[in-house]
Structure 1
């Protein structure tokens, strides 16, 4: 922090600080689903680490460009998960991530893991049932009976598209994204004022 920052208007600093507290609160790490806890420790740890830092302005601008940028970023997925949690549709990204983890499962454990994912997210009246059409649900059920690394590919793609076409659009206009943008705006103002104060101090000292 520059020396002149302490002399910035108190309202400006308080506003930026309040926004950051609000963002940190909104990014609280969601609790993992009970049936998925054993298989999501690494994912939960990574999400927790991502939630401990605020995204940069560059990251947020990337997220605005495409949904792919959100999903390919650990911090992006954490922020998007927080948004889905506020909409009570967290099961979509949980399922997508479970499918990603499943592809890394050893062959000996594929069948058991596939059955757990199917029972948790896919079958009718599952605890965290995702919104799949009947044909995709039936195809997935048949694939799970002969478990292979790609047996959830179609269902995962359907949910990805659903998030991209529906939730992502609302995410871009959400309070969370607006808070992030506002935070960067306040920081830019503070930095500009700080630079002006430093320049004035140097000029005054050299006069």
Structure 2
């Protein structure tokens, strides 16, 4: 023991050890949380349910001029929880914004899914866009999301957690 510490009362030494243990426990917990947050970004569903992650993903997609898929997915999420009296209006808006071949933010859907949507637009229900939303989710998971994971936007999002 160094001379400086030997002159301190044992109660101070015990208190210092106690603080050191607490600090090491805090550092370990913080490190585990950082690892969990990093792993979180390996799952698109979890990312979409995290406000910071969603924002970083949206900024990334905007930088690639491809945010229409995410915006469609978000519009479908909003539609799903909308009151029945608003669903027809919102369905028309989603169709004209994302599905219609002349849509300003047309998403990449196969002809079969597009035709199925067209046939139900007169009487939309809560699950009208489910199949289309699943297809767009799959596209994001296979294409945009892996690129996001390799981007500086992802690294910045991990630092922010």
Smaller-chain TM-score bracket: 0.7 to 0.9
In 1: Cα distance, 2:40 partner to 2:134 partner: 19
Post-superposition shift, 1:171?
0.5
Cα 1:60–1:105 change in 2 (3 A) is: same
Contact 1:62/1:69 (8 A) holds in 2? no
RMSD: 2.0
Is 2:95 the partner of 1:118?
yes
Q: TM-score, normalised by structure 2?
A: 0.73
Q: Which runs of 5+ in 2 are unaligned?
A: 1-32
* Candidates 48, 57, 62, aligned match of 1:85: 62
Post-superposition Cα deviations, 1:118-151, rounded to whole Å, max 9, x if no partner, equal 0001110201101111111111111222210110
Q: Across the two proteins, how many residue pairs are aligned to each other?
A: 129
Q: TM-score, normalised by structure 1?
A: 0.57
Cα 1:183–1:68 change in 2 (3 A) is: closer
Is 2:39 the partner of 1:62?
yes
Q: Which runs of 5+ in 1 are unaligned?
A: 1-55, 185-207
Cα 1:179–1:107 change in 2 (3 A) is: closer
In 2: Cα distance, 1:58 partner to 1:104 partner: 33
Cα 1:181–1:115 change in 2 (3 A) is: closer
In 1: Cα distance, 2:127 partner to 2:148 partner: 29
**For the pair shown, which has the larger CA radius of gyration, 1 or 2?**
2
Contact 1:91/1:128 (8 A) holds in 2? yes
